[in-house]
Amino acid sequence: MAIELKSKNYLYAILVVSGSLLLIIILSFLIVKPLWESNSKIKQEVLANEQKLASLEDRLTKLKKYKEKEAELLKEKEKVLAVLPEDKDIPRLFVQFEKMVATTGASVVSADTTTDSAVASTGQVQQQQAVPGVTTYNYNLKVNSSTYEAIKNIVLNSESALRLMNISGFSISKKEGSFDVIFTLKSYARSQQ
């Protein structure tokens, strides 16, 4: 049995196939093309966002490093400020120095202030460099000791002290069985803000 195909059947088949192709082309322009363009835009946005994210992550790691550095610097600042007292704390330095003197067996006889410009043993005025926010205090402290060893220990203790009270000069005179030592002390304090 052979099926006779007539031109009508070919025409119908051609119309169905061409209609399907036309429908596929129309659907691809109406649905697939916008989806493809949307997908391309999303890929570009994702790529841009990945670059921004990488940049932000880099900034975050730098910020963390800066925060760690800031914490270290704040600790350093606290150490420096612990060494450099405020103006109101200067009397405590003398208490500390007097305790250092007392532990050596010597005793403090008197204390007085000196002029702001220090004079070296050669008679020349030493130039002092002013630091903003830091005040310099100069004092003469008279100490009485019965041994040379006590005087040496006073100097050693003052060099290892936490606070800044420097011995900028001293003079020794011997009296009956004891030594009178005049220490020229220089201390520094930060101005109260």
The pLDDT tens digits for 60-93 are 999 999 999 999 998 887 777 666 777 777 777 7
Query: Is residue 3 a part of any domain in this protein?
Result: no
- d(CA 84, CA 133) in angstroms, rounded, equals 11
Same domain, 53 and 136: no
Is 0.75 topped by the overall pTM?
no
Range of the domain at 135: 87-190
Same domain, 29 and 113: no
Same domain, 62 and 153: no
Same domain, 104 and 162: yes
Same domain, 104 and 71: no
- Contact partners, residue 116, CB within 8 Å, separation at least 6: 128, 136, 138
The pLDDT tens digits for 8-46 are 677 888 888 899 998 888 887 888 778 888 889 999 999
Bridge-based pairing of strands 178-190 and 134-145 is antiparallel
Report H helices in 29-179.
Answer: 33-83, 90-103, 148-159
Same domain, 77 and 128: no
